[in-house]
Each structure stands twice: as C-alpha cells, then as structure tokens.
C-alpha cells in the first residue's frame, strides 16, 4: 500500500484476493447500502471487461474498528458464514460490481439477477472458448448466460437448443463455466476432463492452451484499484465521499447513515421512525415531516440543551446531525414527538389543516423544537401570541426559503429568550418585511407567502358563499376547500384585464369546490344574484359573507374589478400587518400607485 495522506490510502489487490476476502466475510457492506440490483446484461458486460483486462473502476473501502464511525455490517449477497465475522473492511463504493463478480465467479451457485425488463431469473455464466479467441467476435457475445437448469430452449420450452447440464456436455459445446475459475481443485478437474475428452484432437488442446493463456490468466491476474478510508475518518466525510463516488447508485441520506450507525448498537432507527411516523401522520400538518426533518429537529433540540448546560454554540447543520449520539436520540425522541403534536395543534387552530397548506415545511423544525422545550406552557395566551407572531413573520417575510440551518439555531435561542426571559425580539421578527408590490407576483401556491395569506384569510373568518359556514376542519375536507378566483378567470380574460392583477392573490379566496362550480366563468353580479336566488340568501346576509373575505360587496355587484382590486389589496395589507404586528410600508409610494392604479393606504 502507498500512503497518500492522513485520511486514505490506495492499493491494487488482485480480484481473487478481494473475492476471497468477501467469501470469508473479511470484506462486507455497511448496513445502509441498498440491495444488489444489477441485471443480466450488466453482469455479462462486466465479465467481458475483466476478460479483456479492461478497467472496471476503483473500489472504495473503509477500515473498521475506528472510534468515529461504527456501522452494522452485512455480508455481500451470496456469502454464507458459519459464524458471525467482524469485517476488516466495509465496501462503500463498488457493491454492484463486486457482488456481480463474486456471484458469477466465486459462489458456485446460480446468480439471482433479472432481465432488462425486470423479470427475476437465475443464471450461470460461461465463456465460449471459440468466440473468446476470435478477434472478430464481440466479447460480450462470448459471455453466455444460461438458466438454472443449464439449458437454452425455444418454442416455449419444447425445443432444446443447448444443453450443458453435465460436464461432458460443457466439453462438447466448448463452454467454460466461470463459477470454477477461482476454485483450483474444480478448475483442475475440469481441465483434466477436457484434455481427456480431446486427447486425440490437437486443435482442441491447442485452442484450450491459448484460451487458458489469453483469457483465464487475465481473470486470475486481474487487479482492482482500491481507495481505503482509514478507520478514524469522520462520519460526515464518509457520507460526503460516498455520495460523490456513488453516482451510479442510490443517494445516501443522513437518515440512512445514522440508521447504520445506531444499528451498530442494536438500535433499529428505521423501525422506530416507521412507528413514530404513523403516529405523527394522524395529524394533517405533520404529513410532510420526513425522517431527516425529525433527526434535524432532535439535533437542534440536543444542541440547545447543551448550549444551556455548557454555553456551547447551537447548530444543527448536516455535520451536527451526523454526530448525533444514540443516547441523545433516545433522550429526546419521545419529547420531540410530543412537541410536534403540539405544533400540529397550534397550526390547526391557525387554519393550517394539512401539509399542502403549510407555507414552509422547514419552519416546522425550529417550531417543533421550541414547542418541545415550552411543553404545556405553549398554551399560555401570551406565549402563544409571541410564538405565532414569530411564525407569521417568518412566513410573510419569506425568511425560510433558502439554507435555513443558521436561522434554526438563531430562532430557537431568540424565541425562547424572548418568551422566557423577556429578551429582545427575535431576529426573524426584526428582519421580516413585506413589500406591497409582492401582492402582484403571488400567483400560485408554490410561494410560502401565498399559502400563508390564504391561511390568514381563512383564519380571519371567511364564510362559505353558499351556506355561510366558517371554514373549519370538517368543512375544509368534506367540502374540498381550495383557492379560487373571485372575478372568474374566463370573465377577466374576456374583459382584457391584466393577468398580473386577475391571477394574483388579491383576486382569490378560499372557497368550496361546490361554490366554485356555481361561480363558473360568470360576472360577479350574475353569480351573486344566482346564489341569492337559488339558495334563498338575503342580500344583507350575502353582503356580510363577502365582507368576511375582505370583499367590498358594492364593487362585486357592480362588476367593478379595478375598484375591487385596489380596495381588497389594501385590506390584505392590513391583514399582513396584523399577523406580523408590523406596519407594511410604502403603500402610497409612486411605485405602488403606478402598479395598482391608486394608493393602497386605507383612509
């Protein structure tokens, strides 16, 4: 081995040496590695490359026994050990290649693989001696894949095209079984049998000598470049290295790496999360929480606890999650689950009923950790109001849209200091700002502010146009409440109104699917009259219902889109100010007057 640095070394062991150590259990896989998935054609192509001494890429290994990283190992597919072996190395990259070669060249059993259409099959692999020596033959075609009964048939199995189910038939067909290539006794026995069979045929014997020299020896002398991470390589480095080299496999997540780490201490994180997720998903707002969110929240919680005890900095970046200990997880997992349920209850009271209505999924991470620490105190009115002010400033100020780990750490400290010690307002509140011009660009629910404003419109009391019911949890799901145009799209297009106006959030409201069907593409004056007539709603009551959506009834009844638009935009800005408890500035600026056609400052 040639020393390269302090974190890894490189080498070039023989393929035989690697496969032997896999067979003995000295080289295994970390538990986070996915199952072996290569199909039959991939295996044949790999064998063809080795048979011509072509490179098949470097293999990434990691020494075991280090203090920093401990993974539960598992044997490569096909390896059967009499007793449990502690491996010397773990295969980080090269699983598919090494498993394919082990199964095809070393295991002696049929290789469980699949066709290119995904059908499960079992195959033995053979070298066609004649084709391997023919320079005009594609080497891929010289690698035969034979079914478990060692026959190739046609006409739905009625005709046998090739039968090599005995060693004698292998000789006659000129097909060498790759499964014995690294088994000296079996290889020698097969070679002697072949020579006895053709002892009077010099051409056959010469061909085999040439085959042995040019093909067999390439397998036996083949060397595989390796990069070996030293046993003290940090966990985050292992994760990063794995993701960079494993471009042909499935990306390794933080959760999978932590799962493998905890498994070394006989703790099944995957099962724990599966059960915990089922309980959390009983609450609509939590249905988008994934395993990484949960681990990040626990890391944030643990880091804050250490901060309170030792004064250390608070952090929940990827490297911090990877350093989470099993003891920290066990101490906080049930507490955090309860904190998340408290978070869900808080959000449901705010009219956020499901995960698709949550403005920022990421903001649940600090909110859940904060609710965990507050415990039942989060129900106190003063505390709850502070918590909600911080939450809505984050949403309407659109402060959780980028890399958020630093903001998580600042918010958990700021918010709890503000609540518990009457400290300064959190930076998220101080940083939050809403530009009135933003109303025009809020066109779809992809925006957090768009979702947040729809929730605020429901929260402030919007009643259903048809039955006058407030939008609560039951109505939201039973009547399929969604966001719909007030001045219908078709009507606005027919009138030539600007899309930046009619498709903006100012012209939208949370309405039931039934109400939206009745509205159709009609002018507001027409559909309002139809609703009043067909559903026996008095004019005064209909006006009251429209006002709950911050709509001036007179403008709708007169089909006056421009007056409606300016008036409702002003009211929505008031709604934003109330949620953030901060003034929205610039409502009567020249820029706003040019964009909206008038000032948005209510007189």
pLDDT digit string, tens, across residues 500-547 = 999 999 999 888 777 778 788 889 999 999 989 988 999 999 999 999
* CA pair distance 48, 457, nearest whole angstrom: 66
Does residue 403 lie in a domain region? yes
pLDDT at 571: 95
Share of the chain above pLDDT 90, in %: 68
For residue 162, pLDDT beyond 90: yes
CB of 190 closer than 8 Å to CB of 169: no
* End-of-domain residue from the set 431, 452, 471: 431
Confidence of residue 28 (pLDDT cuts 50, 70, 90): very high
Does residue 28 lie in a domain region? yes
Mean pLDDT value across residues 352-365: 93
Residues 364 and 451 in one domain: no
For residue 161, pLDDT beyond 60: yes
pLDDT at 252: 61
* End-of-domain residue from the set 193, 225, 252: 252
Q: What angle is formed at CA 10 by the lines to CA 8 and CA 14, rounded to 5 degrees?
A: 140
Residues 325 and 457 in one domain: no
For residue 109, give its domain range. Answer: 1-124+182-252
Does residue 134 lie in a domain region? no
pLDDT at 460: 82
Nearest to 453, CA basis, from 467, 463, 443? 443
Does residue 527 lie in a domain region? yes
Does residue 177 lie in a domain region? no
Q: List, in sequence order, the alpha helices (H) in 421-560.
A: 427-431, 438-441, 448-459, 473-478, 489-495, 499-502, 513-519, 524-534, 539-547, 553-557
Does residue 165 lie in a domain region? no
* End-of-domain residue from the set 220, 252, 284: 252
Residues 304 and 219 in one domain: no
Residues 401 and 489 in one domain: no
Share of the chain above pLDDT 70, in %: 93
Go through 228-249 and write b for each residue having 16 or more CB atoms within 10 A of its CB, e for each that does not: bbeeebbbbbbbebbeebbeeb
Residues 194 and 264 in one domain: no
For residue 2, pLDDT beyond 50: no
Residue 478, number of CB atoms within 10 A of its CB = 10
Mean pLDDT value across residues 27-36: 77
For residue 603, pLDDT beyond 70: no
Residues 409 and 535 in one domain: no
Does residue 541 lie in a domain region? yes
Residues 187 and 293 in one domain: no
Mean pLDDT value across residues 152-177: 91
261 bridge partner residues = none
* CA pair distance 357, 456, nearest whole angstrom: 11
pLDDT at 370: 97
CB of 370 closer than 8 Å to CB of 302: no
Residues 520 and 402 in one domain: no
Residues 97 and 207 in one domain: yes
Residues 111 and 186 in one domain: yes
Domain count, the chain: 3
Does residue 171 lie in a domain region? no
| Mean of the per-residue pLDDT values of the chain | 90
Mean pLDDT value across residues 328-333: 97
Residues 197 and 50 in one domain: yes
Residues 540 and 527 in one domain: yes
For residue 3, pLDDT beyond 50: no
pTM (predicted TM-score): 0.72
pLDDT at 476: 63
């Amino acid at each position: 081995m040639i020393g390269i640095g302090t974190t890894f070394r490189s080498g070039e062991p023989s393929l035989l040496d690697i496969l032997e150590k896999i067979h003995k259990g000295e080289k295994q896989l970390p538990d986070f590695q996915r199952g072996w998935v290569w199909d039959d054609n991939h295996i044949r192509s790999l064998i063809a490359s080795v048979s011509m001494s072509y490179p098949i890429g470097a293999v990434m290994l990691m020494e075991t026994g280090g203090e920093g990283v401990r993974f539960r190992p598992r044997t490569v597919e096909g390896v059967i050990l009499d007793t449990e072996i502690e491996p010397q190395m773990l295969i980080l990259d090269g699983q598919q290649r090494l498993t394919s070669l082990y199964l095809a060249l070393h295991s002696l059993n049929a290789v469980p693989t699949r066709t290119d259409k995904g059908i499960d099959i079992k195959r033995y692999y053979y070298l066609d001696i004649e084709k391997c020596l023919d320079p005009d033959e594609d080497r891929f075609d010289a690698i035969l894949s034979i079914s478990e009964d060692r026959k190739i048939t046609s006409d739905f199995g009625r005709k046998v095209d090739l039968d090599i189910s005995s060693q004698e038939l292998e000789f006659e067909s000129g097909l060498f079984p790759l499964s014995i290539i690294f088994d000296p006794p079996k290889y020698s026995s097969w070679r002697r049998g072949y020579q006895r069979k053709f002892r009077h045929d010099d051409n056959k014997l010469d061909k085999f000598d040439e085959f042995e020299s040019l093909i067999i020896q390439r397998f036996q002398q083949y060397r595989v470049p390796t990069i070996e991470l030293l046993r003290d390589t940090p966990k985050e480095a292992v994760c990063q290295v794995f993701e960079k080299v494993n471009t042909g496999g499935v990306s390794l997540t933080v959760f999978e790496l932590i799962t493998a780490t905890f498994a070394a201490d006989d703790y099944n994180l995957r099962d724990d999360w599966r059960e915990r997720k089922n309980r959390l998903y009983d609450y609509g707002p939590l249905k988008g929480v994934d395993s990484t969110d949960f681990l990040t929240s626990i890391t944030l919680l643990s880091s804050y606890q250490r901060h309170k005890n030792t004064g250390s900095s608070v952090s929940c970046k990827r490297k911090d999650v990877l350093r989470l200990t099993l003891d920290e997880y066990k101490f906080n997992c049930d507490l955090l689950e309860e904190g998340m349920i408290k978070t869900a209850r808080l959000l449901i009271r705010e009219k956020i009923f499901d995960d698709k209505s949550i403005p920022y999924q990421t903001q649940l991470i600090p909110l859940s950790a904060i609710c965990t620490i507050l415990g039942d105190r989060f129900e106190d009115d003063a505390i709850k109001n502070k918590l909600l002010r911080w939450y809505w400033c984050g949403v309407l100020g659109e402060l959780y849209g980028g890399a958020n780990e630093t903001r998580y750490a600042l918010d958990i400290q700021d918010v709890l200091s503000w609540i518990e010690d009457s400290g300064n307002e959190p930076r998220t509140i101080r940083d939050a700002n809403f530009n009135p011009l933003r109303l025009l660009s809020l066109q779809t629910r992809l925006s957090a502010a768009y979702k947040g404003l729809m929730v605020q419109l429901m929260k402030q009391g919007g009643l259903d146009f048809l039955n006058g019911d407030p939008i609560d949890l039951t109505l939201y799901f039973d009547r399929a409440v969604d966001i719909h145009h007030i001045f219908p799209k078709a009507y606005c297009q027919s009138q030539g109104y600007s899309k930046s106006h009619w498709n903006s959030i100012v012209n939208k409201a949370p309405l039931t699917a039934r109400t939206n069907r009745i509205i159709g593409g009609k002018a507001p004056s027409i559909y309002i009259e139809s609703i009043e007539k067909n559903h026996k709603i008095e004019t005064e009551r209909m006006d009251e219902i429209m006002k709950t959506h911050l709509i001036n009834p007179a403008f709708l009844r007169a089909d006056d889109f421009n007056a409606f638009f300016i008036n409702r935009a002003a009211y929505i800005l008031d709604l934003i100010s109330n949620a953030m408890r901060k003034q929205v500035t610039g409502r009567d600026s020249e820029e706003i007057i040019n964009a909206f056609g008038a000032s948005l400052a209510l007189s």
